[in-house]
Amino acid sequence: MLYTAEPGLVIGFHGCDQRVSDAIISGITSLRPSTNDWDWLGHGIYFWQNSYDRAMNYAMHPPPNVQIHQPAVIGAVISLGRCLDLTDKRWIDLTRSSFEILKRTREPRGFSLPANADPGGGRRWGDKVLRRLDCAVIENVHKLLRDAGSQPFDSVRCVFYEGKRLYRGAGFYEKTHVQICIRNPNCIKGYFRPREEVDWK
């Protein structure tokens, strides 16, 4: 466990409606965790790491179940704490084990595993944006730790290679991003209103 905690602070951005942004910046309320069964990294508060533009793009083009009238972005200073970091082999292996355990416990009882899928409606998304299987596997990781009396994860982080290839034969994708899911709200050290860069020379 010696090297598994993120040593510093990271910046995250959250796309939302301007009214929500104003209420959070003024301290009236805080971001609430998402608990959808299709959340990509399980239940928690979601941020795009270091990507204001991606957060604004989300706010300008929200999924059908999200109502945003005036797109806005909130910045947050975050400590990942004990992070289930899916760029770390140790936690990749743990997540694979969680899937195998979930499969062994559900299938003999006649319960099929959920699946990642695209929404209906005729549109071809291609990225299987409803991540019900992944959400169940990540939530099972947290359950296994609770059942074992182990220290819980404060956050989950993963790189997602999403969207179309940048060009024919490319290994780069137009929507690649690092997503953070904060489970422990104390990891959010503060919110801020993002500002534009100024020419200081």
150-164 confidence digits (pLDDT tens): 999 999 999 999 888
57-79 burial, b if ≥16 CB within 10 A, otherwise e?
bbbeeeeeeeebeebbbbbbebb
User: Does some domain include residue 168?
Assistant: yes
Task: Give 57-79 as a DSSP string.
Answer: HHHHS--TT---SSEEEEEEEEE
Give the Cβ contact number of residue 15 at 10 Å.
25
Give the Cβ contact number of residue 22 at 10 Å.
15
**Pair 76, 153: CB distance under 8 Å:** no
User: Does some domain include residue 41?
Assistant: yes
Minimal CA–CA distance to 98: which of 106, 88, 87, 108?
106
pLDDT of 64 reads 81
Q: Is the pLDDT of residue 42 over 80?
A: yes
User: Does some domain include residue 73?
Assistant: yes
User: Does some domain include residue 187?
Assistant: yes
pLDDT of 189 reads 96
User: Does some domain include residue 200?
Assistant: no
User: Does some domain include residue 201?
Assistant: no
Mean pLDDT computed over 118-145: 84
Mean confidence (pLDDT) of the chain: 91
CA atoms of 134 and 144, how far apart (whole Å): 15
Q: Is the pLDDT of residue 121 over 70?
A: no
Q: What residue type is assigned to position 25 of the chain? A: I
The set of residues, in sequence order, having a beta carbon less than 8 Å from that of 134 and lying 6+ positions away, is: 40, 41, 116
Q: 3-state class of 8 per DSSP?
A: coil
User: Does some domain include residue 3?
Assistant: no
CA atoms of 83 and 6, how far apart (whole Å): 7
pLDDT of 139 reads 98
Q: 3-state class of 121 per DSSP?
A: coil
The set of residues, in sequence order, having a beta carbon less than 8 Å from that of 159 and lying 6+ positions away, is: 86, 87, 176, 177, 178
- Look-up of token digits 């290679």: 161
Give the Cβ contact number of residue 40 at 10 Å.
21
Domain hosting 67: range is: 9-192
Between 29-38, 42-51, 110-119, 138-147, the lowest mean confidence (pLDDT) is in: 110-119
pLDDT of 134 reads 97
Between 112 and 34, the more confident residue is: 34
pLDDT of 124 reads 55
First to last CA, the chain: 45
- Structural domain total, the chain: 1
**pLDDT band at 108; cut points 50, 70, 90:** confident
User: Does some domain include residue 92?
Assistant: yes
